């Protein structure tokens, strides 16, 4: 009886291991598919004026890891992430792009309403997003100190996941 129980548990355990491996493979394939068309390697040129009027140039941020975060005021997933991006912005360089979220004034009003202070470019027409291949939000690009895209996260990302990738980008 004991041998039969051990054999049953061994078979059932192998079944669970195989199922977990298959789930991981499907997850990675879906992630790969969702990230097709997004910028990789050297990011496209990005320069403009932040909502506060400060000029920004992505090339000028070389030398440290950068979180380039695309979001929208109308996106419910982005709202779930916004506090994490705000917290990260106090420890790392963050540049956010508000895609198709209205004028500078409308985006600034949104940021004020939610008490968010991360540096933001308003991409009213979605032209910056198009250069980066962003068709849906949220999308986060982790750019290493050499100015290369090291990681891409599409969809919801945890604060700790983004922080870990920023930390890895240093090396």
pLDDT digits (tens), the chain, 171 positions: 667 656 665 666 677 777 877 777 776 666 666 667 787 889 999 999 999 999 999 999 999 999 999 999 999 999 999 999 999 999 999 999 999 999 999 999 999 999 999 999 999 999 999 999 999 999 999 999 999 999 999 999 999 999 999 999 988
Extract the tokens encoding 120: 């933001």
Helices and strands (H and E) in the chain: how many:
5, 7
Under a CB-based contact definition with an 8 Å cutoff, are residues 124 and 100 in contact? yes
Please tell me the pTM assigned to this model: 0.81
For the chain, the structural domain boundaries read 1-34, 47-169
- Residue 18's Cβ-side half-sphere holds a number of Cα atoms within 13 Å equal to 6
> How much is the pLDDT for 33?
60
Q: What is the largest CA-CA distance in the chain?
A: 77
- For residue 90, the tally of other CB atoms under 10 A from its CB is 9
Q: Can you give the pLDDT at residue 37?
A: 72
Helix (H) or strand (E) holding 97: strand 93-99
User: Residue 114: how many CB atoms within 10 A of its CB?
Assistant: 11
- Cβ-based neighbour number of residue 110 at 10 Å: 20
Altogether, the residues listed in the chain come to a count of 171
47-169 carries CATH number 3.40.30.10: yes
């Amino acid at each position: 009886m004991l041998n039969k129980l051990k054999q049953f548990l061994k078979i059932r355990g192998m079944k669970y291991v195989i199922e977990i491996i298959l789930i991981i493979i499907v997850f990675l394939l879906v992630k790969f598919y969702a990230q097709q068309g997004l910028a990789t390697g050297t990011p496209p040129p990005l320069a403009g004026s932040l909502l506060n009027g400060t000029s920004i140039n992505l090339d000028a941020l070389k030398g440290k890891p950068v979180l380039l975060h695309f979001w929208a005021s109308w996106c419910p997933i982005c709202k779930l992430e916004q506090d994490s991006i705000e917290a990260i912005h106090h420890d790392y360089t963050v540049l956010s792009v508000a895609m198709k979220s209205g004028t500078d004034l409308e985006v600034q009003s949104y940021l004020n309403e939610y008490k968010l202070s991360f540096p933001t470019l308003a991409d009213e027409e979605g032209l910056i997003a198009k250069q980066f291949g962003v068709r849906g939000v949220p999308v986060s690009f982790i750019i290493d100190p050499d100015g290369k895209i090291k990681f891409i996260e599409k969809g919801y990302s945890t604060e700790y996941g983004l922080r870990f990738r920023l930390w890895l980008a240093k090396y």
